[in-house]
Chain A
Amino acid sequence: MLALLRRFLISSWLVVALLLLWWKVSANSENYFWPPLSQIATQFKANWLFTNVVEDVIPSLKNLAIGYIIGAPCAVVVGAHLGLSEIAQKIFSPLVNFFRSIPGVALVPIFIMLFGIGDESRRVSIAVAVFFPTLIATVEAVRSSDAVLMDVSRSFRFSAFQSLWRVRVPSGAPMISSGLQVSLQVGFIVMIVSEMLGAFRGLGAFTVEAQQSFMIIDMWTGIIVLGILGYIFNVIFELVEKRALRWYRGQKGLTS
C-alpha cells in the first residue's frame, strides 16, 4: 500500500510541480503568447465543459471514427491477401510503396479538391491515410508466418482461406496491431489537418480560427483539448491491445 503510494508520488510529483510553476510564473504574465494559466483554465471550462462539445468535438471524433473504421479493416483484408501471394506483391508493392510514401496530410488537398470542404473529404482523407500503415504491417505479418505453424495448417488440411484467417492473421496480430496504432495516430493528425484546411467546425478549425483571430486563450484551450485527446486515444488503444494480445505478452514473458 505504502509502496503503491510512493510509486504514485514519484511518477506524478513533477507533473504537479510543473503545472504549479506554470500557474505561478504566468500569473501576472503580460506576454501575449503566454497568458496566465488561470485564465486558460477558466476559458477551458467555459469552452469545453461542455458547451462546444457537441459542436466541435463530436463532429471531429465522428469523422475520425468513420474514416478509421472504413480504412483500417479494409487494409487488414487487402494486406492479408497481398501477403499470401508473392506475384501480387511483385505487381503491387512498388505502387503501394509509392502511395504509402505520400504523407497522409498531403492527401487532404486532393480530397478537398474532389469532394469540397465537407465531412466527406475529411472522412475519405482519414480512411486513405489510415489504410497504408496498416496495409504494410499486415502484408509483413502474413509474409513472416512461422513455417512450423504453416506445416501444421497444411497437415490438418486447412484451406488457404482458413489458414489465412485462423492461423496467419492471428499469429501476426502483434505486428498488425502496431500498424493499427500508427494508423490511429496518422488518422488523428489528418483529422486535425483536414479541419485546419478549411472547415467551419471541429477542433482543428476551432483552434486555427482562434489563432487567426488572435484569441490566444481560446487557442490555448484548443491545443490542450487536442493534446489530451491524442494522449487518451493512445492509452485506450494500448489498453485494448493489452487485453486482446494477452497471449503474446504471456508467451514473451515466459520464453525470454
Chain B
Amino acid sequence: MTHPMRTGARLELKDVTKTYTGHGEDKHVLDRINCIVEPGEFLSIVGPSGVGKTTLLRLLTGLTPVTTGEILLDGKPVTSPPEDLAIVLQEYTRSLMPWLTVEKNIELPLKLKKIAKEERRERVQSAIIEVGLEGNDSRYPWQLSGGMQQRVAIARALASRPRILVMDEPFASVDAQTRLDLEDLVLKVRDDFGITTLLVTHDMDEAVYLADRVLVLTGKPAHVAAEIAVPLGYPRNQVETRAHPDFGHLRGEIYQLIRGKR
C-alpha cells in the first residue's frame, strides 16, 4: 500500500483569549494562549477536566470564534473550519450518521465536495484499509463496537485528506484494550501521512505516549503552564515506551503541574 505523502500544516496560536458572555456575568475561559505546532508534529493538550481544553479545540478548528488574538493555519487566519483540517470527536455514537452505512458515512463529505465517483471509491477503500475496518463497509455504525465506530470516524477524517488532524478525547469512551489499539492506530496514521496531529486528552499517560510535545493547561482562566518536549524515540511501543524511565519522569512532571496548581 503506497500513500501519497502529504505534508502537515503549521498551526500558530497568537495570544488567543476566549470569554463567554451572556446572562450578566462574563466567563473568562482561556487567557493569552500562545503555541506553534510545526508541520508533521504531534501535540497533546492536557489539563484537568473543565479547564477549557475543549474550548481551545473548538477555537483552533474554527467551530467557535476567538474573543481576541489570532489562530493561523499555514499563515491564514482561521475563522471557520478550514479546508485542510479534519476533526474526530469523543462522542462517536453521535458523530456518525446512524442512517448511513460505514462506507456511506466515510463517503458523504467527499460526495458533498463533488469529488468524482471513481476517486471517492478509491479514497473510501484506502481509508477503510488504513484503519483496519475491512469487511465492514455495508454495516451500520450502531452495529459496531465503540472502538470500531471511532475507527470509522478516523477513516472519515482521513478520506478528506487533511493536513492537520484534531482529536477531542477520542478514546475516552472505549474500553482499555481498544484504547491502546486506537492509540497505535493514530501513531501509524501520523507516520503514513506525515500530517500534523493534535490530541486533546485528560489522560497524562496517553498524552505522553503519543506526542512529540505536550501542552499543559491549568488555571482559571486557563493558561499554558508548560510546553514539555517528549524525547522518547520512535516507533513507540505500548510495553517498552511506557516502561522507559523518561516516560515516568515526564508523566510525573505533568502530574505535578496539574495537581500543584489546584
B17 is an interface residue with CB less than 8 A from chain A: no
B112 touches A254 (CB 8 A): no
B136 is an interface residue with CB less than 8 A from chain A: no
Smallest distance from the beta carbon of A165 to chain B beta carbons, Å?
10
A12 is an interface residue with CB less than 8 A from chain B: no
B86 touches A146 (CB 8 A): no
Q: What CA separation (Å) do A149 and B254 show in the bound complex?
A: 33
Q: Which of B22-30, B92-100, B172-180, B202-210 contacts A (4 or more CB under 8 A)?
A: B92-100
| Contact flags B40-74 to A (C-beta < 8 A → 1, else 0) | 00000000000000000000010100000000000
Inside 8 A of B113's CB, which chain A residues have their CB?
157
A33 is an interface residue with CB less than 8 A from chain B: no
Instruction: Give the size of the chain A interface in residues (CB under 8 angstroms).
Output: 23
Inside 8 A of A155's CB, which chain B residues have their CB?
61, 63, 81, 85-87
Q: In terms of DSSP, what is the predominant structure of the interface of chain B?
A: loop
**A250: contacting residue among B63, B81, B143, CB under 8 A:** B143
Smallest distance from the beta carbon of A164 to chain B beta carbons, Å?
12
B255 is an interface residue with CB less than 8 A from chain A: no
Q: What CA separation (Å) do A79 and B89 show in the bound complex?
A: 30
Q: What CA separation (Å) do A167 and B105 show in the bound complex?
A: 11
A148 touching B95 in the complex, CB below 8 Å, given contacts A155-B87, A156-B109: yes
| In the complex, chain A residues 58-106 whose Cβ is within 8 Å of any chain B Cβ | none
Q: What CA separation (Å) do A154 and B89 show in the bound complex?
A: 13
A158 touching B95 in the complex, CB below 8 Å, given contacts A152-B87, A247-B142, A250-B140: no
Q: What CA separation (Å) do A82 and B97 show in the bound complex?
A: 23
Instruction: Give the size of the chain B interface in residues (CB under 8 angstroms).
Output: 24
A29 is an interface residue with CB less than 8 A from chain B: no
B81 touches A247 (CB 8 A): no
Inside 8 A of A248's CB, which chain B residues have their CB?
98-99
Inside 8 A of A247's CB, which chain B residues have their CB?
98-99, 140, 142
B98 touches A251 (CB 8 A): yes
Inside 8 A of B81's CB, which chain A residues have their CB?
154-157
Q: What CA separation (Å) do A171 and B113 show in the bound complex?
A: 20
Smallest distance from the beta carbon of B262 to chain A beta carbons, Å?
30
* Inter-chain pairs besides A152-B95, A247-B98, A247-B99, 18 sampled, C-beta below 8 Å: A148-B91, A151-B87, A151-B89, A154-B81, A155-B61, A155-B63, A155-B85, A157-B80, A162-B112, A170-B97, A171-B99, A247-B142, A248-B98, A250-B98, A250-B143, A251-B98, A254-B143, A255-B93
12 A-B pairs, CB-CB below 8 angstroms?
Answer: A148-B95, A151-B87, A155-B63, A155-B81, A156-B81, A156-B86, A156-B112, A162-B112, A251-B140, A254-B142, A254-B143, A255-B93
Residues of A within 8 A of B (CB): 146, 148-149, 151-152, 154-159, 162, 166-167, 170-171, 173, 247-248, 250-251, 254-255
